[in-house]
Amino acid sequence: MSAPEIGTAPRVLYGRRRGRSLRPGQRLLVETRLPALRIAVPRDGVLDPRRLFAAPVAAVWLELGFGGGEHLAAQAALHPEIGMLGAEVFENGVAKLLAEMQRRSLENIRLFVDDGRLLLAALPDGAVARVFILFPDPWPKARHAKRRLVSRDTLDALARIMADGGELRLATDDMDYARAMLALGTTHRDFRWCAQSARDWRARADDWPPTRYEQKALAAGRLPLYLRFARLPRAH
């Protein structure tokens, strides 16, 4: 598959870009740290994610909609050899991640502060070894279901950019969304569901750090589901 033209990616964004006003320290981080870490999508050509990092990386991982960034930061700390890409439009979440990166001295994260679908369109085939979409907005009303991030179009785009054998991790505490995720993943020709027992979707893997959204769900009595899919080998 070839990369679609960047200009053809949809630009309709649902949800907030900003919440409460940033504190002075957060604002300073956004102004001083973000420019050097921000991913710029080229208008022409394809973005080579490995060239975003000063040091060579063993692989590239991507989190779409990283929220407050706690999972992305934890993965970056656990895997300093991996180049981490994070896409998020919510300014307050970006500021929180920047603060955590500073606190942990993390150098292997780069940020895309825009519609993540634009980033997907710019990445080359097979460039990403692992993708995370964790607790995306469930948009529970039927008329809003089309706004969900996990969709057939998204899986098609991920199948193109993911390496053979790469892993897609999805999590949600909304059972309707979970059923939709499972139906999409198990019927997509390029993915295989990795579960071998019920525990595989009821419990997080040991190398899957928690998020604050998961903690909120558990506190409210909602049990999250954790879905893992493998990118099937391409036909040659």
Q: Rg (Cα) of the chain, in Å, rounded? A: 17
Closest C-alpha among 70, 11, 114 to residue 84: 70
137 catalytically annotated: yes
The whole-angstrom separation of Cα 115 and Cα 104 is 27
Closest C-alpha among 63, 19, 15, 69 to residue 212: 69
> How many angstroms separate the Cα of 85 from the Cα of each of 56, 62, 72, 113, 157?
14, 5, 9, 11, 16
Place of tokens 């710019």: 122
> Structure tokens of 85?
């890409």
Q: Which of 137, 156, 173, 190 is the catalytic position?
A: 137
The whole-angstrom separation of Cα 170 and Cα 153 is 15
> Structure tokens of 128?
């990403």
Residues with catalytic function: 137
